[in-house]
Amino acid sequence: MPTPRHHLNQQRRRRARADAPAPATPSAPAPAAAGERDAGPGAPVGVLTGPAPRTRRRPAAKPVPEGAGAPEREEGGGPAAKGPRRRVPLLVLCVLTLLLGGFAGWAQSRAGALRDDPARGNTALTDPARTSEVKGRTAEAVAALFSYDHTDPGAFEQAGKAFLTGRAVEQHRTLFAGVLAQAARQKSVITTTVTESAVERIDGDRARVLVYADQSSVSTAGAPKPAAGGAKAKAQEQAQDQGVYAGAMFAVDVVRRNGTWLVENIDTFGR
């Protein structure tokens, strides 16, 4: 490390000696120069005007380092011509550093603000693959969860285990408690089909889907009612044979677990 510096110092000293006999300016300002140099950077002259007054003083100060003879300290005490040239790049670099640093900080905050935009966090539609995956899986889950065949009640239980998690387990049970008992008695087949669905939002492994579904229920066995029901019962029976349709709308929250989406919440909008 000290070798090149030493070399430089030697060179400088040699050059300084050559200049010494002819100082560019009278040595009078020398004491003032020393005093003013401290004030220089803080003085109100400003960054660009700063170096100008120093140039003239440099030669005056020069003999001092010569006399001090401290090689480490000396290196800056170059000849008159070198001073301004060295200061200007330094100031330019300082200004550049500040400008670039300022820009970097600003750009970072702008980018951050853009990335934090809630619209961007929601990848519904912007990620078509995931959007259709969520829709498909939701339709599958809804069809399984809200359908019931009296001949195969196990499938209904199975669907609950396969597609539900968290509080949705309880919600599903509550929603179906009454229907289930009636369906078992009437030997009904309830079929639920998703007719329309739209993904409200996808945020990583969570999504919310608005679902419109049609529910048809067909009673295969004549209801266990007294045969004396008359015309009214017959009409009802006929209607059941043809199927009774009802439209439903609700929203489901789904979460991704182990590569598959599970229903975590069923929002029936307070109904």
Q: Which residues bind another protein (CB under 8 A)?
A: 8, 33-34, 37-38, 58, 61, 64-65, 68, 70, 72-78, 83, 86-87, 89-90, 93-94, 96-98, 100-101, 103-105, 107-108, 110-111, 114-115, 117, 119-120, 122-127, 193, 195-200, 209-210, 212, 214, 216, 243, 245-247, 249, 251, 267, 269, 271
* Distance (Å) of CA 95 to CA 88, 89, 90, 108, 128: 11, 10, 9, 20, 47
Q: Is 181 or 249 the residue whose CB approaches another protein more closely? A: 249
Q: Is 232 or 271 the residue whose CB approaches another protein more closely? A: 271
In whole angstroms, the minimum distance from the beta carbon of 255 to another protein comes to 18
In whole angstroms, the minimum distance from the beta carbon of 38 to another protein comes to 6
Q: Is 116 or 226 the residue whose CB approaches another protein more closely? A: 116
In whole angstroms, the minimum distance from the beta carbon of 56 to another protein comes to 14
Structure tokens at 138: 């939701």
In whole angstroms, the minimum distance from the beta carbon of 232 to another protein comes to 22
Helix ranges restricted to H, 43-187: 51-61, 63-68, 71-74, 82-115, 118-121, 128-145, 153-163, 168-186
The answer to whether 245 touches 191, Cβ cutoff 8 Å, is no
DSSP summary character for residue 164:
B
Task: Please name the residues in contact with 11: beta carbons below 8 A apart, sequence gap of 6 or more.
Answer: none
Structure tokens at 53: 């007054």
Q: Is 34 or 184 the residue whose CB approaches another protein more closely? A: 34
Structure tokens at 87: 């200061």
